[in-house]
A and B are shown apart, each in its own frame.
Chain A
Amino acid sequence: METFTLSLPSALAATAPATSPTAASAAPDVICGIVASGNLEILVEPQGSSTCTFEIHTAAEGFRETWDAVLADFVQRHPAGGLRFTLNDVGSTPAVVALRLAQAHELWLRGRAA
């Protein structure tokens, strides 16, 4: 098991939590995916910072460079500033991680809009 935390700059997610923390925190937290072999679950919560923070718990050790690349790509493609993603991973491939992050992100945005 390997655990690490990483904060990256990203365009603000919809309503900026930094300028309007109450609006962001009004959106419900979102859980996406399942903890299973080759899969992962992701918890999305707003946080009081304009960066995007990832807390990774992964069963597969020694893939830090790949994680960095996947997460850097994600914050570039999606406005995720002000969000905190907690990942429980059981050895999923970057394809699965990227897919789940996109799904979790959209679910959170949808919850906010609702």
Chain B
Amino acid sequence: MSKLTMNDREHRLARLSAFRQGRIVPAERMVEVLNALIEPGDRVCVEGNNQKQADWLAECLAQTNPDQVRQLHLVQSVLALPEHLDIIERGQVERLDFSFSGPQAGRLARLLEGGKIQLGAIHTYLELFARYFVDLTPKVALVAAQMADREGNLYTGPNTEDTPAIVEATAFRNGIVIAQVNQIVDRLPRVDIPADWVHVVAEAPRPHYVEPLFTRDPALITEVQVLMAMIAIKGLYAEYGIRRLNHGIGFDTAAIELLLPTYAASLGLKGKICTHWALNPHPTLIPAIEAGFVESVHCFGSEVGMEDYVAAHPDVFFLGPDGSLRSNRAFCQAAGHYACDLFIGSTLQMDLQGNSSTATRGRITGFGGAPNMGADARGRRHASAPWLRAGAEGARPGQMPRGRKLVAQTVETFREHMAPTFVERLDAWDLAESAGLDLPPVMIYGEDLTHLITEEGIAHLCRCHTPEEREQAIRGVAGFTPVGLARDARAVENLRDRGIIQRPADLGIAVSDASRDWLAARSIKDLVRASGGRYHPPAQFRNW
């Protein structure tokens, strides 16, 4: 590893004198720029997450000279593009620290098993950002922005996401920041990254990629998901009076969002629940916003097609002086961890201790942000009514009183192809063994889980006193899975008598009332209509 000194950066940038005009270089010379700048052993961050990608710069990196650009230490949020893996396959990478791999999970597992690279660690987003400021500071950061001006100031716009965290760590520790932009203009709508933090700018041959990851078509929401949303709203949100929250991605949480202006409103909950959010601009939140349910939403990133709708709601979203969204993944992750009283999400597998994982054998998907959202914030000190109540419910006599974050998982007992969600042993154990991971990759630990919702009802795990009770509470809502059928029927009835397990009927919910008619929008077109024509869904979601 080359020593990080001011001279080193100046020395490297001097090699670019033939390419650079000010900070701007022509796109066709980017591969040469990277060859000239990057030295063996450099820590390199290619910006990307589950939304925006510096995809053109990743392509350029995969075309560099392997004799010069080698022994790299990749320190980046995702390995989602084929090019990220191409760089590894070309033998240019020695070590990898990352957070999430998504679509390339299978290929990454094979490369790791083949001993092609050393794996440092798999992080959550916030952990990796934190390590940028401690021991994994990038020497070279390849980032994406919508626009630059001729000075090199950047406009990252609605999809600002990870850029501020990456650039700040790199630029202030003698590193080099290279930005691909969709367009170079005379005057930016606003400055998100000042020019003196940026060293090289190129207008990419095409706009950077953005994945519409948070769009869920209401037409695909099932009645079982409606039922579970009713249970969540009545048995959890209303019960604890949850106003500050974060939703994971998925149809289960989309159903809850679409039931706010209908079912939740019919229970008189408007203004009492779901007022403040750490959440991307989910299209399925539009009807709740239009109904006046929502006071504030801070976003990790944007969502394709939601730009105009968001811009029309300065009363709800965080907008710049130009009127467009400013997202920030690092701040929103901190907000979700410390300022929200509830996280609710879904998972693929859960064991009898309540540990949950999305890991399957042969795929190293990593973590993203869910573990930080779905964990008690042990460092939190400010109180709120739901937090105090959740803490008090599990307290032992004589213990120091403290609060607790509500962490809920909402899952159907069976997934597609009759794969049971509830298992004795998570596949994460096999993956840890086959890939040589330090620990089984658990998304949310059982000890952090306070509530479990299935179509069978809600289990208030935070009200259990012993591990045995918790296990029976989980079995009690595990339905007809082998784990559920092996429950102790008497213990489960006892838990029901004590209000630890509540069936829909116990909550006053008639199962037959679980109808798609409750959905405030039943199609993407309904969402467009609800938005007053300001939501512009991407082509793959348009069927009219």
The interface of chain A, by Cβ under 8 A from chain B, is 38, 60, 63, 66, 69-70, 73, 91, 93-96, 98-99, 102-103, 105-107
Contact in complex: B227, A94 (CB < 8 Å): no
Partner of B412, one of A60, A63, A93: A93
Interface of B is mostly: mixed
Interface residue? B539 (CB, 8 A): no
Please give the distance in Å from B496's CB to the nearest CB on chain A. 13
Interface centre among A38, A95, A99 (most CB of B within 10 A): A95
Partner of B485, one of A69, A98, A99, A103: A69
Contact in complex: B485, A93 (CB < 8 Å): no
Interface residue? B418 (CB, 8 A): yes
Please give the distance in Å from B492's CB to the nearest CB on chain A. 12
27 A-B pairs, CB-CB below 8 angstroms?
A: A60-B418, A66-B480, A69-B480, A70-B480, A73-B480, A91-B418, A93-B224, A93-B412, A93-B413, A94-B413, A94-B479, A95-B412, A95-B413, A95-B414, A95-B455, A96-B222, A96-B223, A96-B224, A98-B455, A99-B223, A99-B224, A99-B227, A99-B514, A102-B511, A103-B511, A103-B512, A107-B512
- In the bound complex, what is the Cα–Cα distance between A107 and B413 (angstroms)? 25
Interface residue? B510 (CB, 8 A): yes
When distances are taken between beta carbons in the complex, the residues of chain B under 8 Å from A69 are: 480, 485
Contact in complex: A94, B480 (CB < 8 Å): yes
- Given A60-B418, A70-B480, do A95 and B511 touch, yes or no (CB 8 Å)? no
Mask, B475-491, CB within 8 Å of A = 1, is 00001100001000000
- In the bound complex, what is the Cα–Cα distance between A70 and B414 (angstroms)? 13
* Chain B interface residue count, Cβ-Cβ cutoff 8 angstroms: 18
- In the bound complex, what is the Cα–Cα distance between A106 and B223 (angstroms)? 16
Contact in complex: B414, A93 (CB < 8 Å): yes
- In the bound complex, what is the Cα–Cα distance between A113 and B223 (angstroms)? 25
Mask, B142-184, CB within 8 Å of A = 1, is 0000000000000000000000000000000000000000000
Please give the distance in Å from A104's CB to the nearest CB on chain B. 9
- In the bound complex, what is the Cα–Cα distance between A103 and B223 (angstroms)? 11
When distances are taken between beta carbons in the complex, the residues of chain A under 8 Å from B223 are: 96, 99
Known: A66-B418, A95-B414, A96-B224. 5 other contacts (CB 8 A): A70-B480, A73-B480, A94-B413, A95-B455, A106-B510
When distances are taken between beta carbons in the complex, the residues of chain A under 8 Å from B479 are: 94-95, 98
When distances are taken between beta carbons in the complex, the residues of chain A under 8 Å from B224 are: 93, 95-96, 99
Contact in complex: A99, B511 (CB < 8 Å): yes
- In the bound complex, what is the Cα–Cα distance between A58 and B24 (angstroms)? 65
When distances are taken between beta carbons in the complex, the residues of chain B under 8 Å from A99 are: 223-224, 227, 455, 511, 514
Interface centre among A70, A99, A105 (most CB of B within 10 A): A99
Please give the distance in Å from A41's CB to the nearest CB on chain B. 14
